[in-house]
Amino acid sequence: MPQITFIEYSDKSHCVDAETGKSLMQIAIDHGIPGIDADCGGSCACGTCHVIVHETWQGKLPTAQEEEMAMLDMTPEPQPGSRLSCQLTVTDALDGLVVRLPEFQM
């Protein structure tokens, strides 16, 4: 089972076992990670599941689709590694992934 690390804005770190096939957002919710609101339930319509992918992982993830990019443009302070965690599906290839949480969601 891949392990994924979520780092809160305060630098508090949570390393969790992630079930493959679920979205990264759902993994965060399942493990009670603070800072992921996921108001739309994962339909790419709210932008409140924003995470910033660690720079060593940014080129290893599937490219964001147009809908995700449009929603990310509306998030406060989008960054180069910004992604919507509901649009990333956990696979074994993501073992070791590290994402940071922004200070605020939308």
- Report the C-alpha gap between 34 and 55 in whole angstroms: 22
The answer to whether 24 contacts ligand FES (rule: CB under 6 A) is no
Binding test (CB under 6 A) with ligand FES, winner from 18, 27, 38, 53: 38
The answer to whether 84 contacts ligand FES (rule: CB under 6 A) is yes
Binding test (CB under 6 A) with ligand FES, winner from 7, 18, 28, 46: 46
Binding test (CB under 6 A) with ligand FES, winner from 7, 18, 49, 53: 49
| Both tokens assigned to 9 | 């804005």
- Amino acid code (one letter) for 49: C
Sign, CA torsion 28/34/35/41: positive
Closest C-alpha among 87, 81, 68 to residue 7: 81
Measured from the CB of residue 58, what is the shortest distance to ligand FES in angstroms?
19
